[in-house]
Structure 1
Amino acid sequence: MRKSPIIFVIGCTGTGKSDLGVAIAKKYGGEVISVDSMQFYRGLDIATNKITEDEAEGIPHHMMSFLNPSDPSAYNVHQFREATLDLIQKIRSRSKIPIIVGGTTYYAESVLYENNLIETTSSTNSDDVITKSRTSSESSSVASESDDVTNLALWEELKRVDEHSANLLHPNNRYRVQRALQIFKETGIPKSQLVQQQKADDTVDLGGKLRFDDSLVIYMDATPEVLEERLDGRVDKMIRMGLKKELVEFYDEHKSQIHQSKYGVMQCIGLKEFVPWLAMDPPERDTPKGDKLFKKGCDDVKLHTRQYARRQRRWYRSRLLIRSDGDRKMASTKMLDTSDKTKIISDGMAIVDQWMGGVDLFEDISTENSKNTVMKGQDANVLLRCELCDISMTGKDNWQRHIDGKKHKHSVKKAKEQQQQQNLG
């Protein structure tokens, strides 16, 4: 049996993380800490798919429903990390096992690894998943702090002060560009230089060492086809559970914040998509036009949830698996395929039982073909531009997919034909 275990149950939306977290806690005596940033807010229990009292089966759940959606103050990953580390100590003092459950992988990463975040004096930063509010005083010398400045202008400003960081960011990744500029403004040191200082050695791609020696990470996923069908079905279930009523009540209480801010609670998938419908006069919501807007909201929720699941999957490969490819101690890591819903709990518990019994588990990241290659460092993030197709992208894997795609091949063929015509002319 492990002396001081901590278990992370993370992964794609709709894979059964909450149920597995409860099962682990029941068998081994644990308490759950939520790492789903949108569940931090009070309300929207259906829209954010919060675990119900019945589903929790008496297991304590922390870091849920503690933020006021109308509070304009920031809550960021640094605050989450400190609060969670304090919770972990308290849970362990009760001789319980902390179980981190959720899909906000960036927040989970802040707990899993030490020295993984660059500290700045500002309590609000544009890496925040919860809120990215900014004050006018921060915009004096760095163009990144103005909403009037284009994404390209922000990126060019970053390239001027930190070319290496700029070359690893797409110009449209506004939040990361702003954060890199903020780091430079507050510290006087380029972010790329600080990242290099954080790296303990050359064997691991990312800075930061494992915080807890006895750490298990279960990453839950499913085949894209199964997951998309499951996610679409979940939206239909939310409607049956009373999504419309919940949205209307939440909107009536927090209307001002919803319309004044594009950050904070407005980042919740399951709320922002329905604002056009909610903004209608109440009688209009039940008209054919209202029904059409509500249906569009549902379709957008399904689309955005599928897109979010893809981003979660990319994080697993680019931010977690590559840490296992080095000499220093890493977390035990296993991917759990949840495509068969009847086996989620049994397969998940088999992983936990094996690990709790003293067996270290590591995902095999060896690759047999280029499609499965785990890109690292600059290869994973380098900004590349195809002038022929007039498109920019980050990562050599995305570049390879682009040049192998129909659009690029069509552009190449068209360019050759135009060149041949010019030569003949």
Structure 2
Amino acid sequence: TESVISRSHLPFIVGGTNYYIESLLFHLNPPNPSPEHSHDKQFTSLLNDLSEENLSKLTSVQLHELLSKIDKPTSIRRHPNEERKIRRAIEFYRDSGGIPLSEALKQQHAESGFSYRGSFRFHRCCLLWLTCQKEELEKRINDRIKSMLDRGLINELEKFHDEYNQTCTQAEQSYNYTRGIFQAIGFKEFHDYLLLSNIKRKSEHGEKVFANAIERLKLSTRQYSKYQEKWLRMRLLQRVEKHSPNVYELDTTNLSLWYENVEQRAEAIIDAFLKDEKIPFDALPKTPIDEPVYEQNTCLACQRVFHMKSQWLDHLKSKQHKRVLRTTDRAAYRQKLNNAIPSLLNTLDLLEMKKISEIEKKNDEFEIDNEMIETLENNN
């Protein structure tokens, strides 16, 4: 982009992934390798142990444990299931010669004065965001997937799957959907179907597996569209630093109004921007938020891990968490009574059935009547 500008041309960027857009807009240059351990043989051996081959043998949980030893702050910010981000942090540590990602970002923030990542590359930048209402967007996603299937998506997947298996040994035939081309939407959704033989694919069971794969493909695409919107809002609409670009919305929901809502509006925005005049439409409002607080918490009752304090507090107040606690409490009471007074179990069952009936009618929380249980114990 800088090369285009240096030749007195104006770059127009259309499309691209979120990470590509981010690399265009922000300075994200990694720091130079640390000279601190450059002649340390033991440290050099450690970096060699972090080779791609060795990392590929570790599970997501093991990678998270490794990250916690070399970059504790980053490990706290990452859930053990975020394998791709965890691996990237480890690779950054290795490739930078032992600089933790958290330290690199901290240094970058200090130098640029920006709260998130690096500073903006350009002082003047205009972003046009094509939006669409949820119902229409989901319809277009379904239509797009149907079009992809009609144009031979399955044949393409089957061909790739067969060629991949032919080039791999039996031991190498694994499918890591967090790396390489297998990350692309479409591979993991059709995994079960592609593992079937040609005969089984044509069976009734194969047709069901195929139908489920299509539904998973639609779901993954919808989730990705939500992620894209979330990314844009977090990166661009929650930043109020100097030179942060304005984002203008172009509503594409009604295609019959494309000229008025999209083409005409876009021309007016770009024309005013190039002439450095007041743009006749309002940019989307920026709504800055507080920086999240990262701390790792584990709910033993629900068997879940949280790496943000806000998520942890929300979980503690959630109905699901309270339901699990009530179930655990009931099981503990039953075990206690079973050990002490087995004859009371039938009575306890009746009490639970009565309470459950009440919760269905009143939509109230279930609570074991402790006083009644104590009375039964004393009377017995």
Alignment of 1:268 onto 2:184: yes
Residue number among 86, 92, 95 corresponding to 1:177 in the alignment = 86
Alignment of 1:296 onto 2:212: yes
Alignment of 1:410 onto 2:323: yes
* C-alpha spacing 1:346/1:190, structure 2 compared with 1 (3 Å): same
Q: Residue 322 of structure 1: CA displacement?
A: 2.4
1:212 match: 122
Q: Secondary structure at the match of 1:187?
A: coil
Residue number among 271, 285, 290 corresponding to 1:364 in the alignment = 285
Cα pair 1:118 1:194 within 8 Å, conserved: yes
Higher RCO (CA-CA < 8 Å; seq separation 6+)? 1
RMSD of the alignment, in Å?
A: 3.8
Give the aligned residue type for 2:213. G
1:25 match: none
Q: Residue 281 of structure 1: CA displacement?
A: 3.9
Q: Residue 348 of structure 1: CA displacement?
A: 3.5
Give the aligned residue type for 1:243. L
2:357 match: none
Q: 5+ residue gaps in structure 1?
A: 1-84, 122-136, 367-373
Q: Secondary structure at the match of 1:98?
A: coil
Q: Residue 143 of structure 1: CA displacement?
A: 10
Cα deviation, 1:7-33, whole Å, max 9, x if unaligned, reads xxxxxxxxxxxxxxxxxxxxxxxxxxx
* C-alpha spacing 1:226/1:201, structure 2 compared with 1 (3 Å): farther
The within-5 A match list for 1:248-327 is: 248-256=158-166, 259=173, 262=176, 263-323=179-239, 325-326=240-241
Q: Secondary structure at the match of 2:69?
A: helix
Q: Residue 119 of structure 1: CA displacement?
A: 5.5
1:20 match: none
More helix by share: 2
Q: Residue 218 of structure 1: CA displacement?
A: 2.7
Cα pair 1:183 1:189 within 8 Å, conserved: yes
1:240 match: 150
Aligned partners of 1:169, 1:96: CA distance in 2, in Å?
39
Aligned partners of 1:311, 1:179: CA distance in 2, in Å?
19
Q: Secondary structure at the match of 2:15?
A: strand
TM-score with structure 1 setting the length: 0.61
2:244 match: 330
Q: Residue 357 of structure 1: CA displacement?
A: 0.5
Cα deviation, 1:348-405, whole Å, max 9, x if unaligned, reads 3314522430346643133xxxxxxx655434x6544434422123445544653454
2:101 match: 191
Cα deviation, 1:194-251, whole Å, max 9, x if unaligned, reads 1011015686321212212332223344444443343233222322333333334444
* C-alpha spacing 1:344/1:249, structure 2 compared with 1 (3 Å): farther
The within-5 A match list for 1:3-402 is: 85=1, 89=3, 93=7, 95=9, 97-102=11-16, 104-114=17-27, 116-118=28-30, 140=49, 145-185=54-94, 186-200=96-110, 204-256=114-166, 259=173, 262=176, 263-323=179-239, 325-326=240-241, 328-343=242-257, 346-349=260-263, 350-351=265-266, 353-358=268-273, 359=278, 362-366=283-287, 375-379=289-293, 382-396=295-309, 398-399=311-312, 401-402=314-315
Q: Residue 300 of structure 1: CA displacement?
A: 1.7
Cα pair 2:236 2:244 within 8 Å, conserved: no
Q: Residue 302 of structure 1: CA displacement?
A: 1.1
Give the aligned residue type for 2:229. R
* C-alpha spacing 1:240/1:400, structure 2 compared with 1 (3 Å): farther
Give the aligned residue type for 2:226. R
Q: 5+ residue gaps in structure 2?
A: 34-45, 334-367
* C-alpha spacing 1:155/1:376, structure 2 compared with 1 (3 Å): farther
Q: Residue 101 of structure 1: CA displacement?
A: 0.9
Q: Residue 309 of structure 1: CA displacement?
A: 2.1
Q: Secondary structure at the match of 1:101?
A: coil
Cα pair 1:100 1:108 within 8 Å, conserved: no
Cα deviation, 1:123-151, whole Å, max 9, x if unaligned, reads xxxxxxxxxxxxxx966158994333332
Q: Residue 177 of structure 1: CA displacement?
A: 1.6
Aligned partners of 1:220, 1:376: CA distance in 2, in Å?
27
Cα deviation, 1:315-359, whole Å, max 9, x if unaligned, reads 123223222x22x11122234444444445643331452243034
* C-alpha spacing 1:386/1:200, structure 2 compared with 1 (3 Å): same
Give the aligned residue type for 1:98. F
Aligned partners of 2:53, 2:31: CA distance in 1, in Å?
19
- Larger mean CA deviation between 355-364 and 230-239 belongs to 355-364
* C-alpha spacing 1:246/1:91, structure 2 compared with 1 (3 Å): farther
* C-alpha spacing 1:282/1:168, structure 2 compared with 1 (3 Å): same
Aligned partners of 1:338, 1:112: CA distance in 2, in Å?
25
* C-alpha spacing 1:209/1:343, structure 2 compared with 1 (3 Å): farther
Give the aligned residue type for 1:111. L
Give the aligned residue type for 1:191. L
Aligned partners of 1:314, 1:156: CA distance in 2, in Å?
28
TM-score with structure 2 setting the length: 0.67
